[in-house]
Amino acid sequence: MTTVFIISAPSGSGKSTLVHRLLNEVAALTFSVSYTTRPPRGSEVEGEAYHFIDRAEFERRLAAGEFLESAEVFGNYYGTHSDALEAAKQRGKDLVLDIDVQGAAQLKKRIPDAVSIFVLPPSREILEQRLRSRSQDHEETIRRRLADAAREIRNYRLYDYVLVNNDLDLAVETLKAVVRAERVRRIRVEEKIQPILDTFGTTLGA
């Protein structure tokens, strides 16, 4: 059984760093590389940061029902291809998705058992500092990201867990604890529990 972990956060909250640490420090996880129509930035490599395709190809795949979720953000499409989940299942791994609030809501409808985690910055001021320290965006973009963050944060109640990224190491440990706890909760019943019940002469649901 593959568990899907959805991680959302306003841009600049440190989500990418948290996900990178999680993947490196917890076994049997695989990352879903999203598709996008935006051009690569800086040193982004095809198949690592994103799968980069043009708008016509994205819309063709969207019409064919290939995406588990999709959203248009700042004029560009983003989406999670269903192949990512199938590949995780075949490899016996849990799947980690880094997607926005729109995508998370769609995915929870498709996969109600998905575990959703929202990462909050300690404050608006700290979020703005982080956005500016990246030196990647123009002033207009920074203001737009802050406005979007205010809207996204209102949706935190829709998530199963909320994590405040104030201390990075602590936030990483909390995120790892969530994954481990969910794995215990969703233990493969047929493989591990039924053999024990068999010794008592009973069955699941009895």
How does the average pLDDT of the chain come out, rounded?
90
Nearby residues of 122 by Cβ (< 8 Å), 6 or more positions away: 164, 165, 166
Exposure b/e, 115-132, CB count within 10 A at least 16 = b: bbbbbbbeeeeebbebbe
The answer to whether 58 touches 77, Cβ cutoff 8 Å, is: yes
State pLDDT tens for residues 51-98: 999 999 999 999 999 999 999 987 899 999 999 999 999 999 999 999
Tokens coding 104? 């998370």
Residue 171 CA to residue 165 CA, distance in Å, equals 5
Predicted confidence at residue 202, as pLDDT, reads 75
What is the rounded average pLDDT of the residues 117-146? 86
Rounded to an integer, the average pLDDT of 35-59 is: 92
Instruction: Give 177-190 pLDDT, tens digit per residue.
Output: 999 999 988 775 55
In the chain, pLDDT over 90 holds for what percent of residues?
A: 63
- HSE-CB at 158 with a 13 A cutoff on CA atoms is 19
Better-scored residue on pLDDT, 28 or 141: 28
pLDDT at 206: 58
For residues 70 and 75, give the distance between their C-alpha atoms in angstroms, rounded to a whole number: 13
Residue 136 predicted with pLDDT over 80 = no
| Of 15-19, 164-168, 181-185, 195-199, minimum mean pLDDT range | 195-199
Residue 191 has pLDDT above 70, yes or no: no
**Amino acid 97: pLDDT:** 97
What is the pairing mode between strands 115-120 and 161-164?
Answer: parallel
Between 137 and 57, residue with greater pLDDT: 57
Q: Which of 114, 127, 108 is nearest to 9 (CA)?
A: 127
- Tell me the average pLDDT across 131-155: 84
What's the pLDDT score for residue 59? 97
Greater confidence (72 vs 202) lies with 72
Model pTM score: 0.85
- Please tell me the predicted confidence (pLDDT) of residue 205: 60
Q: What is the pLDDT of residue 185?
A: 84
SS (H, E, C) 64-80: CCCEEEEEEECCEEEEE
Domains and CATH numbers, the chain: 4-32+94-199 (3.40.50.300)
| Residue 102 vs residues 24, 30, 109: alpha-carbon distances, Å | 27, 22, 11
